[in-house]
């Protein structure tokens, strides 16, 4: 196996045995980036010098007998997570040239755990999108088929890991942006419980939904990264104080006896590709073979997830994005008056999808419409959460497809925002409910494109979710495939 194909835990083991150094590994990844980046375009910024310096430091620490959970592992960061001294743009013109003077908490934790940061990955502008085509700079290509999208909005992170341009990456998930690209790129992607990981330094899209999460090549790597990322942060009052469990220890032995797996009858609906439905159904059989009891459950408000999300997320976005006015950060247009400065900066700085969301959100919040739209959406959000509460009285996890379709072609959905929004039909409601969910590979379609299985768990039950995912992964080989580039 080549160095760029290693999982994090394989690379760590090799480094701990003294068979590999972080500098060797980082050089191999940087060479891989150089070789395949013209095809994938996964990165907005590669910080090669910084990465090599961090790798040298990691090797020195290890030589001095010091171990850390991620010591010497090259990892990429989505460009909406603030990185001290490194440009952070959210793939938006309005933040071009913005260099944060601080690290996001999750980035700080990765660095403290010894990770080598490779650079910043491409994304849909302000994380609004499902294909990475809304990047203001360029689209990213799916390593499994370069004419197709990697998903989004964390598409750069997903493509980088799938293509061997990082061992793992951080993404963010507001309504599916870690899980959907993980599904489309054949990776494991985790959306943690809302508040399990700090949002400090994550440039806000929809604050009641945003969560950072890992994208990795297997479940063990996801558990390892989550252990480092998760935990209380005094700088984010929405983080949980509950101690972070040992997720790696919770992976277990692959036996699922005594575990109840819920399958919502609402998840196999029109619009789900045949290959996806087949792969997910056969994954459910595998879980049964491993000892799990399969239980049909109902989430009656599933179909309200999309309209509720597309009222609440834009409403929050319209408020959060008000701060980008050309005064304090990033891009500033030429103007003679203050008003003209605002108009032109925002008019030129934001792309079409961001403007659409700001307008939708401003409308939903405006006097006269607030009760009909925003308040109503909040009420239905409560019903969605109660659906899950009720289902989790009967089962330990809920499974289904992550995405109704495999990777679609670049350009195929860009003209129709609703088609694009439908890409997240299965990932929005867990986010609205604040529960954890992950995606992992469960098959390939006839064209050789990856399919993802989604596993959701109750609040703070990530360990159960990892245990089920790990058991499935141990029983299958999907996660061992790598795209040929
Ligand atoms: N695709 C969804 C949207 O466009 C979700 C994005 C996300 O999770 N950041 O809003």
| Ligand 1 site, residue 406, Cβ cutoff 6 A | no
Look up tokens 């196999």; give the residue: 268
Cβ–ligand 1 contact at 405 (below 6 Å)? no
User: What's the mean per-residue pLDDT of the chain?
Assistant: 97
Mean pLDDT of 433-458: 98
Distance CA 10, CA 216 (A): 13
Q: Give the residues across from 120 on adjacent strands.
A: 45, 77
Domain with CATH 3.90.1300.10 in the chain: 3-252
pLDDT band at residue 330 under the 50/70/90 scheme: confident
195-220 pLDDT, tens digit each: 999 999 999 999 999 999 999 999 99
- How many CB atoms lie under 10 A from the CB of residue 90? 30
Query: Is the pLDDT score of 426 beyond 90?
Result: yes
Does the structure show a pLDDT above 80 at 482? Answer: yes
Ligand 1 near 181 CB (within 6 A)? no
DSSP state of 373: I
- The CATH homologous superfamily to which domain 3-252 belongs is Amidase signature (AS) domain (3.90.1300.10)
pLDDT of residue 67: 97
What is the whole-number distance in angstroms between the Cα of residue 376 and the centre of ligand 1? 21
Best CA proximity match to 292, nearest among 264, 254, 258, 251: 258
Q: Does any ligand 1 atom lie closer than 6 A to the CB of residue 153? A: yes
Q: Is the pLDDT of residue 160 over 90?
A: yes
| Ligand 1 pocket residue status of 128, Cβ below 6 Å | yes
- Residue range 443-459: average pLDDT? 98
Tell me which residue has its CA closest to atom 10 in ligand 1: 128
- Our mutation pick for probing the ligand 1 site, out of 149, 150, 153, counting the most ligand atoms within 8 A of Cβ, is 153
- Per the listing, tokens 């050309």 go with 326
Distance 308 CA to ligand 1 centre (A): 13
Tokens of 93: 């013109």
The reported pLDDT for the residue numbered 286 is 98
- Segment 434-448 shows an average pLDDT of 98
Q: Out of 313, 408, 417, give the residue to mutate to test ligand 1, the one with the largest number of ligand atoms within 8 Å of its CB.
A: 313
The confidence score (pLDDT) of residue 458 equals 98
Q: Find out whether the beta carbon of 424 lies less than 6 Å from any atom of ligand 1.
A: yes
Mean pLDDT of 350-376: 95
Show the tokens assigned to 138: 């360029």
Indicate which residues carry an active-site annotation: 78, 153, 177
Chain segment 229-266, per-residue pLDDT in tens: 999 999 999 999 999 999 999 999 889 999 999 999 99
| pLDDT confidence of residue 253 | 86
Q: Which atom of ligand 1 is nearest to the CA of 428?
A: 5
Two structure tokens written together for 456: 């959701």
Give the tokens for residue 75.
């990892």
The DSSP output letter for 230 is B
Confidence check: pLDDT of 319 > 80: yes
**Integer-rounded Cα radius of gyration of the chain:** 21
**129: Cβ below 6 Å to ligand 1?**
yes
Q: Which of 103-112, 137-146, 219-228, 247-256 has the lowest mean pLDDT?
A: 247-256
Structure tokens at 1: 């196996």
Q: Whole-angstrom Cα distance, residue 77 to residue 161? A: 11
Percent of the chain having pLDDT more than 70? Answer: 100
> Rounded distance, CA 176 to CA 426, Å?
8
Per-residue pLDDT, averaged over 52-78, amounts to 98
The dihedral of CA 426, 432, 433, 439: what is its sign? Answer: positive
Is residue 154 within 8 Å of residue 122, measured between CB atoms? no
The answer on pLDDT for 269 being more than 80 is no
pLDDT value of residue 270? 79
What band does 313 get if pLDDT is binned at 50, 70 and 90? very high
Interatomic CA distance for residues 75 and 283, integer angstroms: 30
Atom of ligand 1 nearest to the CA of 154: 9
Q: What is the mean pLDDT of residues 404-410?
A: 97
Q: Is 179:454 a contact under the CB 8 Å cutoff?
A: yes
């Amino acid at each position: 196996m080549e160095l760029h194909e290693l999982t994090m835990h394989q690379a760590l083991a090799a480094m701990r045995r003294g068979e590999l150094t972080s500098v060797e590994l980082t050089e191999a990844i940087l060479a891989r980036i150089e070789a395949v980046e013209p095809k994938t375009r996964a990165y907005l910024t590669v910080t090669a010098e910084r990465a090599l310096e961090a790798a040298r430091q990691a090797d020195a620490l290890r030589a001095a007998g010091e171990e850390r959970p991620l010591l010497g592992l090259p990892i990429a960061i989505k460009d909406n997570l603030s990185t001290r001294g490194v440009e952070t743009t959210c793939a938006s013109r309005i933040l071009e040239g913005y260099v944060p003077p601080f690290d996001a908490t999750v980035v700080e934790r990765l660095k403290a755990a010894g990770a080598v940061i490779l650079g910043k990955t491409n994304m849909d502008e302000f994380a609004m999108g499902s294909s990475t085509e809304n990047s203001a700079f360029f689209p990213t290509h799916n390593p499994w088929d370069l004419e197709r999208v990697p998903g989004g909005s964390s598409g750069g992170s997903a493509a980088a890991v799938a293509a061997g341009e990082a061992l793992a990456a951080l993404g963010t998930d507001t309504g599916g942006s870690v899980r959907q690209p993980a599904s489309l790129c054949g990776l494991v992607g985790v959306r943690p419980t809302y508040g399990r990981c700090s949002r400090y330094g994550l440039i806000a899209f929809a604050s009641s939904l945003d969560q950072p999460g890992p994208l990795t090549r297997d479940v063990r790597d996801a558990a390892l990264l989550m252990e480092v990322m998760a935990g209380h942060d005094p700088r984010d009052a929405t983080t949980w104080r509950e101690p972070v469990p040992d997720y790696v220890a919770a992976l277990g032995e692959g036996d699922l006896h005594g575990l109840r797996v819920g399958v919502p009858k609402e998840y196999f609906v029109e619009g789900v590709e045949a290959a996806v439905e087949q792969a997910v159904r056969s994954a459910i059989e595998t879980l049964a073979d491993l000892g799990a009891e399969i239980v049909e459950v109902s989430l009656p408000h599933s179909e309200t997830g999309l309209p509720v999300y597309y009222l609440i997320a834009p409403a929050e976005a319209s408020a959060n994005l008000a701060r980008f006015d050309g005064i304090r950060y990033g891009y500033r247009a030429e103007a003679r008056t203050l008003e003209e400065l605002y108009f032109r900066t925002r008019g030129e700085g934001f792309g079409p999808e961001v403007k659409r969301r700001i307008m939708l959100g401003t409308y939903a919040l405006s006097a006269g419409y607030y009760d009909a739209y925003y308040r109503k959406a909040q009420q239905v959000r409560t019903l969605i959460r109660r659906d899950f509460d009720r289902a989790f009285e009967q089962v330990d996890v809920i499974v289904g497809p992550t995405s109704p379709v495999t990777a679609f072609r670049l350009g195929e959905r860009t003209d129709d925002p609703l088609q694009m929004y439908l890409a997240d039909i299965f990932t929005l409601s867990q986010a609205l409910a604040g529960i954890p969910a992950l995606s992992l590979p469960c098959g390939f379609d006839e064209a050789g494109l990856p399919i993802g299985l989604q596993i959701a768990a109750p609040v703070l039950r990530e360990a159960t979710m990892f245990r089920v995912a790990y058991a499935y992964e141990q029983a299958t080989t999907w996660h061992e495939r790598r795209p040929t580039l």
